[in-house]
Structure 1
Amino acid sequence: MTATDPFQDDPDTAPVPRDEGRAFLVGGGVASLAAALFLIRDGDMRGTDITIIDEGTLLGGSLDGGGSAAEGYSLRGGRMLESKYLCTFDLFSSVPTLDGDKTVTKEIFDWNATMKTSSHSRPFSGGQRHVAPEFGLTGHHIRGLERLAITPEAILDRSTIADQFDDAFFKTNFWMMWCTTFAFQPWHSAVEFKRYLLRFAHMVGGFNRLEGIMRTPLNQYDSMVRPLHAWLVARGVQFRMNTTVTDLRLAEEDGITVVRGIRIESGDKVSEIRIDTDDYVMLTLGSMTEGSSLGSMDVVPELHGVGMGGAWKLWERLAKDRPEFGQPAAFTEDVDRSKWVSFTTTLHDAALLTLIRDATGNVPGEGGLITFTESSWLASIVIPSQPHFLGQPDDVAVFWGYGLSVDAIGDFVRKPMGDCTGREIMTEILGHLGLAAKAEAILASAICIPCMMPFITSQFMPRRHGDRPDVIPAGTANLAIIGQYCEMPDDCVFTVEYSVRSAQTAVYGLLGLRRSPPAVYKGVFDPRVLFRAFVALHDLATTGDHGTS
């Protein structure tokens, strides 16, 4: 940093760093990266006293992004943001963009002030766009949603969404848009569905256009992870990559469980990191994207299981005979109900984006998710603003998509999506766009990389109270659990916000700071939010278009 850098700490007002204690953060996802920043910014810890340990070669966890124009770009997924992600925007208000021009938070808000999401074709079927479709809920369905919203989680327990609604509910436009936006299935947890209903009540009014959804200027790895990583490197944070944490050495001291060692493997070397009295350990347990497998235009991605990485094995080992560490099996025992396939397509002829724009009315970056409602795979695509990757050539375009029903037989390619190559997936998508006649020419300049993710919605699987450990497990002293598989009331998993909130909660709790993360926004207590939701759920809106155009 230069002396004139506006993000440089003022030496006259900077806090005095802590003289004692180190922090070891297991997992290189956004939860650990966020925890490191909070330790430095709010906990006055030296960056050189913080170590992030990850078994892979790339930081960011599920916020990944890579590849090239020549070989094809690849994203396992993309995370939607919205203005009430208070922890996330607090975090990135301290992080400058890579060019140092502004904070990442300001960049995101500035970007979305001009690139506002408002879909002209949330569903697409029969070769036609459908603008702001009605939800199609009956009074019985709406009462069911209201009943679920006020039912205590303890009563819902391991019940599923299908336990709460009749079959007709799952044929409504409301469910089609909800399940494809958030990746819910009828067999997923009613508790998680309830939390989403409450957490995003303020977005229901514009949900059929995806209004209120925010995006980053580039993919989230380039727009969020890279700047955050650079901030941490500049402050001396240590990174141990290609290193797997296999176990913790725990000790009982005066009735309290404390971590005294971290057992690691790196290559053929097995060793232990000693944990002293003033040290802290934060673990990312479980992983949505562990076991992911990439295919290619002519190669099908493989379906892996729990044994492919360390995040689940570490959790299983820690949880054995220790109920305070939760029950990982609740999230891993049925891969067929937690898997789906995503794909990233690189186009060396961007004419396809023009055809999609003309068919759907969605300008790249403004339309959000387009779901092919006649697709047996329940496939959707997103056309982001271009470029989507740092360094992406001007004559190259990228888009992303996924399918929820990966075991169903395709409509144009008579195979399950999970058994398809990138070429076959693109053939299916082009068929639903009404472009089958142009498929050969389009495929000649396209690279489609499919990705099978066995645990991508595992955090939505039905669970009981206690299956997810608390951020600071009961009876422990120097240990915290962060990421998607710890328990935090009110907030929603499968969001960047959940990971960041867990990190902030862990840092403030372990260090005994007299502060708390920003409270979860609860729009359900705002009469204006409730009124807009009522109007939308009852299809009473008097503005906007409905039907086809």
Structure 2
Amino acid sequence: MYYSNGNYEAFARPRKPAGVEQKTAWFVGSGLASLSGAAFLIRDGQLPGSKITILEELKLPGGALDGIKKPKKGFVIRGGREMENHFECLWDLYRTIPSMEVDGSVLDEFYWLNKDDPNSSLQRATVDRGQDAHTDGLFTLNEKAQKDIIKIFLASREEMEDKRIDEVFSEDFFASNFWMYWRTMFAFEEWHSALEMKLYLHRFIHHIGGLPDFSALKFTKFNQYESLVLPLYQWLLEQGVTFKFDTTVTDVDFDLSAKRKQAKRIHWVSEGVEGGVDLGENDLLLMTIGSLTENSDEGDQHTPAKLNTGPAPAWDLWRTLAAKDPAFGHPEVFAGDIEKTKWESATVTTLDQRIPEYIQKICKRDPFSGKVVTGGIVTAKDSSWLLSWTVNRQPHFKQQPKDQIVVWVYSLFVDVPGDYVKKTMQECTGEEITQEWLYHMGVPVEDIAELAANASTCVPCMMPYVTSFFMPRKAGDRPQVVPEGSVNFAFIGQFSETGRDCIFTTEYSVRTGMEAAYQLLDIERGVPEVFASTYDVRSLLAATSRLRDGEAIDLPGPQILRKRLMKRLEGNEIGELLMEFGLIGK
């Protein structure tokens, strides 16, 4: 396998891999990594879909890309996915998956949607119960905080291993708007990985300017299950792929030596019955390890969600596998401290016109228009829970009544008493969570209880492992997609290591599925390289200017020397670039 850039490789059609007729493929899990891996085996590896089986613990595919209407509860979304134009592997996949909405591909649908209705936020944060926080698109990074970012950006990966964010950034940085934008958008906590923070800075340096208003982001028409999972699932079924739901993989046998590693048998429990299958060299096994949504628990309007710390099959499988070989990673690094990896979200569905009026007042758009509403999360900056909420294009579900609005709410501090409810989010029912949200929306106090009880319904969801991939780590804690010496197996998903991208994105899941498929079948086409904005001087200068809130650099030294330096910058490429991005005065 190799990486590539440009149209020459992107539009190439690989030839049929040698010996593919003798291959079969088995997938553990049916999240996006597995679904995409299966698609690449079929499309680029020309492996017949009838030779692929996907084993899934739940009763439906999609993993964390969910969205469903639960009987007696209502609509449920555990989270949302933000996408951008440089998710190279994701769009490589979906350019050939037929859309269920338009005459074209899923990529065509997404592209046209975001061309006609580009995303942006008109109000990123509020204070004082729904009042504009007047962040004004500014990062408010002082000189010390700017130096913190530069230091992390220039540091080696090794220097950031096993370090927390609060070990490498100062209090000046944490007091900035930048940190408020960043932590609420990506769900970073101060105790999370400095390495992941560094990788995010590099990966999305070209979008720094869009951080305050989300203008860099793109969203699907509906929830990710209906917009991304269902088209891909339907296409795989049409190719003959077998899905075995209600099937928990409990172990895998290997033949392991210093130079050669082969998966020999899968063990599972399917619909309560133990079973399995033997594997030869030509039987490929692609395993999703770990899970950010494992052991999620839903409450309802009158019942709090519970924190489930019991057996976790996706994590327990990884623990079992990791005990067999050091190359298989260290799951406890990520799943060993639930108090640091949990947070809670909630899905609020409005039932009449009263609450949407307050939504419109803050987001400055009609939530019933069918177009962009909030354009991303709105953060109640002074919320004790650090509560954020978002309204995507409506309807967010195909079966959603036209007079209803689905809102996603989440908080980073689930163990702190609220400002209105005076209980922790973890202790709250759906109705109480709605009350706290309405309070920060500016609903009159005397109306809050009645609106939460009769004008909406809410489903809370506690997720013990949702930020587990942000825990401080070092090289080797995540296994390579295809471990050295493997002849027939790979690890895929958010907890496998490609070394080329940052986690908590749809792109990362698809990239691991693609790299696994390409390596195991020796497909003769390049895997798209990560967009290299971190090496683009224009992107770096634009980011530098934005991080300084447009303030030009004050050149040191006596005035005569500054004038001489400015004279030397006139009329050359470097000077023109510095002036173009406002880093020196004209």
CA shift in 2, pair 1:541/1:168, >3 Å: closer
Match of 1:335 in 2: 338
Deviations 1:329-360 (A, max 9, x none): 00011111110000101111143223211133
Q: How big is the shift at 1:305?
A: 2.0
Say which of 81, 84, 88 aligns to 2:83.
81
1:373 aligns with 2:384: no
1:20-419 aligned within 5 A: 20-67=22-69, 71-99=73-101, 101-126=103-128, 127-129=130-132, 130=134, 132-252=136-256, 255-305=259-309, 307=311, 309-364=312-367, 365-366=372-373, 367-419=375-427
Say which of 455, 466, 471 aligns to 2:476.
466
Q: How big is the shift at 1:39?
A: 0.4
CA shift in 2, pair 1:306/1:142, >3 Å: farther
Supply the distance in 2 between the matched residues of 1:334 and 1:314 (Cα, whole angstroms). Answer: 18
Counterpart amino acid of residue 353 in structure 1: P
Q: How big is the shift at 1:513?
A: 1.6
1:422 aligns with 2:430: yes
TM-score with structure 2 length normalisation?
A: 0.87
Task: Give the fraction of aligned pairs with identical amino acids, expressed as a percent.
Answer: 39
| 8 Å contact from structure 2 (residues 383, 440) kept in 1 | yes
1:528 aligns with 2:538: yes
User: Which stretch of the first structure deviates more once superposed, 74-83 or 389-398?
Assistant: 389-398
Counterpart amino acid of residue 465 in structure 2: F
Counterpart amino acid of residue 482 in structure 2: I
Q: How big is the shift at 1:38?
A: 0.2
Q: How big is the shift at 1:321?
A: 4.5
Counterpart amino acid of residue 320 in structure 2: R
| 8 Å contact from structure 1 (residues 379, 401) kept in 2 | yes
1:439 aligns with 2:448: yes
Supply the distance in 1 between the matched residues of 2:137 and 2:223 (Cα, whole angstroms). Answer: 28
Supply the distance in 1 between the matched residues of 2:353 and 2:426 (Cα, whole angstroms). Answer: 27
Supply the distance in 2 between the matched residues of 1:153 and 1:165 (Cα, whole angstroms). Answer: 16
Gapped regions of structure 2 (runs ≥ 5):
1-13, 553-586
Match of 2:572 in 1: none
Deviations 1:464-513 (A, max 9, x none): 11000000012221110000001121311111000000000000011112
CA shift in 2, pair 1:350/1:20, >3 Å: farther
Supply the distance in 2 between the matched residues of 1:522 and 1:313 (Cα, whole angstroms). Answer: 36
Q: How big is the shift at 1:408?
A: 1.0
Q: How big is the shift at 1:441?
A: 3.8
Supply the distance in 2 between the matched residues of 1:527 and 1:69 (Cα, whole angstroms). Answer: 53
Deviations 1:46-104 (A, max 9, x none): 00000000111121000011115964100110010011111111111111111451111
Supply the distance in 2 between the matched residues of 1:450 and 1:528 (Cα, whole angstroms). Answer: 44
Supply the distance in 1 between the matched residues of 2:188 and 2:436 (Cα, whole angstroms). Answer: 22
Say what the alpha-carbon RMSD is for the aligned residues.
1.8
TM-score with structure 1 length normalisation?
A: 0.93
**1:209 match: secondary structure:** coil
Match of 1:3 in 2: none
Supply the distance in 2 between the matched residues of 1:445 and 1:415 (Cα, whole angstroms). Answer: 22
| 8 Å contact from structure 2 (residues 144, 173) kept in 1 | no
Task: Point out the structure with max Rg over C-alpha.
Answer: 2
Supply the distance in 2 between the matched residues of 1:27 and 1:134 (Cα, whole angstroms). Answer: 42
Q: How big is the shift at 1:116?
A: 1.7
Supply the distance in 2 between the matched residues of 1:99 and 1:81 (Cα, whole angstroms). Answer: 19
Say which of 433, 443, 449 aligns to 2:459.
449
Q: How big is the shift at 1:417?
A: 0.9
User: Which stretch of the first structure deviates more once superposed, 516-525 or 50-59?
Assistant: 516-525
Supply the distance in 1 between the matched residues of 2:423 and 2:450 (Cα, whole angstroms). Answer: 22
Match of 1:546 in 2: none
**2:254 match: secondary structure:** strand
User: Which stretch of the first structure deviates more once superposed, 89-98 or 132-141?
Assistant: 132-141
CA shift in 2, pair 1:299/1:89, >3 Å: same
Deviations 1:384-413 (A, max 9, x none): 111000221212221111000111111111
Counterpart amino acid of residue 438 in structure 1: D
| 8 Å contact from structure 1 (residues 199, 490) kept in 2 | no
**1:272 match: secondary structure:** strand
User: Which stretch of the first structure deviates more once superposed, 212-221 or 123-132?
Assistant: 123-132
Gapped regions of structure 1 (runs ≥ 5):
1-12, 543-549
| 8 Å contact from structure 1 (residues 121, 362) kept in 2 | no
Supply the distance in 2 between the matched residues of 1:232 and 1:321 (Cα, whole angstroms). Answer: 33
Match of 1:4 in 2: none
Q: How big is the shift at 1:44?
A: 0.4
Supply the distance in 1 between the matched residues of 2:380 and 2:430 (Cα, whole angstroms). Answer: 18
CA shift in 2, pair 1:499/1:200, >3 Å: same
Supply the distance in 2 between the matched residues of 1:441 and 1:115 (Cα, whole angstroms). Answer: 35
1:511 aligns with 2:515: no
| 8 Å contact from structure 1 (residues 339, 454) kept in 2 | yes
Supply the distance in 2 between the matched residues of 1:423 and 1:179 (Cα, whole angstroms). Answer: 26
Count of paired positions: 529
